[in-house]
Homo-oligomer: A and B are copies of this chain.
């Protein structure tokens, strides 16, 4: 390689960035039509995608992969239908590009607007799920960006097959394939290099396990929005409706324990604990939960295991619940401030002042009053689709929809306005 030849990753990112200008230049209708063509193209390529996925699965099994990891990798007809449908739904969302979010006419006659434009080139770094390849490409392109995709090596053939379908849709619109640039060579040093390309990559979004996100956060020079773990809390206040509190605990912990908006810790006010806690924990245990409690919890519910401090920092992703009895709302807030991952916190109370105090004191991406933690999700909150749930308190916090993949910039229109009066006398 001569000194003038860019590296594999820099070459790919340079072409992707150039392609981002072509995507940004499409009008809203044409961008929607492109997404629809991408959905059709994936549907038409079903057989090839499933064959490629079968080869990935075979290799993964030979490497000893089992369980949840293998399940995340697997595609079948139903999952492919889901991918096609998701792209179609993203195609139908309102176009965020060009939205005017502020508009004023100044005394000097200038009009001043803030208008949404795409971010540019977004790098997604993710793990085994091949559906992220299609999802992330659809969301980024819908918001006028190009995308650089680096999926897990275990899903390499599936990702290549999906990307080829997306490229054929781009080709039908006369657009460069590199608008969806797949890093086919999954060597780790290429990820490291792409995280340094501050002149080309506008944003990196890591999605996956804690280790991946740490790796990206610790090695990136480009801006990163983390989609980190969810250590979500339910605080059952002294003034909680007991039946409602049990429902929120059961839904939060057990409706889908393996996701980031599932509950991990239950905090219970000491005044309500004797009446409510034993029965509620009994319901949870009968439905398959394991309880790890503080001393006061165990005094009320002896079958609970003893919780350690580590339990209060754990994202179990499993039907395990840490429980602690607290003496006040302030003590609950202090516990949350110490252990939160800034994802989702819930208060169950009939006391409006307690609810207001909790909402004001907690700074997580979503705070729920008498509603399940499981609602912290782009679809549930009305965004239509999400590229992930940000736990970074910058740019976007919580579920990231299409708007989060754009930025507002200023557009000023005048008829010769200048700052310095003498400049006006120049001509």
Interface residues on A, range: 35 or more
CB neighbours of A395 from chain B (8 A): 394-395, 407
Report if A65 contacts B (CB, 8 A): no
CB neighbours of A215 from chain B (8 A): none
Q: Evaluate contact between B427 and A243: CB separation under 8 angstroms.
A: yes
Closest to A119 in B: B393
CB neighbours of A412 from chain B (8 A): 366-369, 371, 375, 381
Interface hit among A154-162, A180-188, A245-253, A300-308: A245-253
Interface hit among A67-75, A164-172, A267-275, A413-421: A413-421
Q: How far is the CA of A119 from the CA of B355 in the complex (A)?
A: 22
Q: Evaluate contact between B382 and A104: CB separation under 8 angstroms.
A: yes
CB neighbours of A104 from chain B (8 A): 382
Chain A positions 266-311 with a Cβ under 8 Å from a chain B Cβ: 283, 287
Closest to A196 in B: B218
Q: Tell me the A residues contacting B by CB distance below 8 Å.
A: 21, 24-25, 104, 106, 110, 112, 117, 119-120, 198, 202-203, 217-218, 221, 223-224, 241-248, 250-251, 254-256, 283, 287, 337, 355, 359-361, 363-372, 374-376, 380-382, 392-395, 397-399, 407-420, 422-424, 426-427
CB neighbours of A413 from chain B (8 A): 355, 368-371
Q: Evaluate contact between B110 and A423: CB separation under 8 angstroms.
A: no
How near does chain B come to A166, taking the closest CB pair, in angstroms? 24
Closest to A371 in B: B414
Closest to A350 in B: B415
13 contacts between A and B (CB under 8 A): A24-B360, A104-B382, A112-B381, A120-B363, A242-B427, A250-B423, A255-B419, A366-B411, A368-B413, A370-B416, A371-B414, A372-B417, A395-B407
How near does chain B come to A95, taking the closest CB pair, in angstroms? 14
Q: Evaluate contact between B106 and A382: CB separation under 8 angstroms.
A: yes
CB neighbours of A110 from chain B (8 A): 371, 375
CB neighbours of A409 from chain B (8 A): 363-367, 397-398
Known: A372-B417, A420-B255. A394 touches B407 (CB 8 A): yes
Q: How far is the CA of A112 from the CA of B383 in the complex (A)?
A: 11
Most B CB contacts (10 A, CB to CB) among A104, A251, A376, A423 go to A423
Closest to A255 in B: B420
CB neighbours of A419 from chain B (8 A): 251, 255-256, 372, 374-375, 380
Known: A110-B375, A112-B382, A415-B370. A25 touches B360 (CB 8 A): yes
Known: A411-B367, A412-B371. A426 touches B221 (CB 8 A): no
> What would 11 more interface pairs be, CB under 8 Å, given A255-B419, A369-B411?
A202-B393, A223-B224, A241-B416, A246-B426, A247-B416, A248-B416, A250-B418, A254-B423, A287-B426, A371-B416, A397-B408
Q: How far is the CA of A408 from the CA of B363 in the complex (A)?
A: 10
Q: How far is the CA of A360 from the CA of B410 in the complex (A)?
A: 12
How near does chain B come to A233, taking the closest CB pair, in angstroms? 15
CB neighbours of A361 from chain B (8 A): 21, 25
CB neighbours of A117 from chain B (8 A): 363
Q: How far is the CA of A256 from the CA of B360 in the complex (A)?
A: 44
CB neighbours of A427 from chain B (8 A): 242-247, 250, 283
CB neighbours of A21 from chain B (8 A): 337, 361
Q: Evaluate contact between B217 and A198: CB separation under 8 angstroms.
A: yes
How near does chain B come to A234, taking the closest CB pair, in angstroms? 12
Q: Evaluate contact between A418 and B255: CB separation under 8 angstroms.
A: yes
Q: Evaluate contact between B223 and A221: CB separation under 8 angstroms.
A: no
